[in-house]
Structure formats: C-alpha cells, structure tokens
Amino acid sequence: MVSSKIKRILVALDGSKGSSQALDEAIYLARECQATLFGVYVIPLFSVNYRKPSSSLAKMFLENGHKVLEDAKIRSARNGILFYEKIVNGNEGYKIISYAKGNKIDMIVLGSRGNSNVKELLLGSVSHYVVHKSPIPVLVVK
C-alpha cells in the first residue's frame, strides 16, 4: 500500500510518450492514495506572451497545452481521479518545482524524457533539473 500522506500529486505533461507514461503512473498512485492530480504544461521561455499569443509558435504551444491537459483530464476522470490543470510559461524545470511548492504538492511525477530539444546522458534536462532541485519527492517514469 502506498503512503496515505500523498494527497496532491503533480504530473508534468508535454504530450510526449514519456509524459503519457508518467500520467499513467500518477493516475495509479492517485487511485491508491485517494489523491488529487494536478497537471501542469509548461510553455518554454521563448514563447513570452502565452495568454494573448500573437505568433503562430505561441498559438501552437497554447493549443497543444490545452489538448494535452484535456486528454489527461479525461483519462483521469475515467479512473475516478479529480484533475486540475494549469498552463504556465518559463523555464520548464523551475516552473514545475515552483508550481509544486506554491500548491502544496506532496509528489511530482514526470517522464524521464520529454519533448525538449536538449538531451542528457541518462535523464532529460527537465527531469534531471527537477530531481536535483526539488525539495518535494519526485518519481521519474521511464
């Protein structure tokens, strides 16, 4: 049995296969712990005005974020899990950690590799950053 102290789980989503697998694990954990899921989609720093996107790139990121989060909400609901969604922009790793801190999250779940262009040897750059900088427990799904 998973610890019942976990009541708020953050899952970082970007539409990649890794984030889909992370969502599956987060749903499983949420069911076991009777926890609520919080999904966050981070638009990279270079798309500055995501609230009123003027460029086609910013619009693409925003549309993709809404689609990814809506799909996650539906998958969560099918499993009886309450899911809250948020789109933010900035440095992905930093924004995931700051969202978790600001929303009293008990655990962060993310894929080992996402849609980032930068690759590291064992982990993606975002998961590597979150694992090393987060004061909150992190589950990295491969």
CATH code of residue 52: 3.40.50.620
Residue range 87-138, pLDDT digits in tens: 998 899 999 999 999 999 999 999 986 555 444 434 468 999 999 999 999 9
Residue 3 in any domain: the answer is: no
Rounded to 10°, the helix 92-102/125-133 angle is 40
Instruction: Domain of residue 32: give its range.
Output: 8-141
Residue 22 in any domain: the answer is: yes
Residue range 17-71, pLDDT digits in tens: 999 999 999 999 999 999 999 999 998 866 555 566 667 777 888 899 999 999 9
How many independent structural domains does the chain possess?
Answer: 1
- 23-28: long-range contacts, CB 8 A cutoff, minimum separation 24: 23/72, 23/75, 23/76, 23/109, 24/141, 25/109, 25/139, 25/141, 26/109, 27/75, 27/76, 27/79, 27/81
Q: Give the per-residue pLDDT at 55.
A: 75
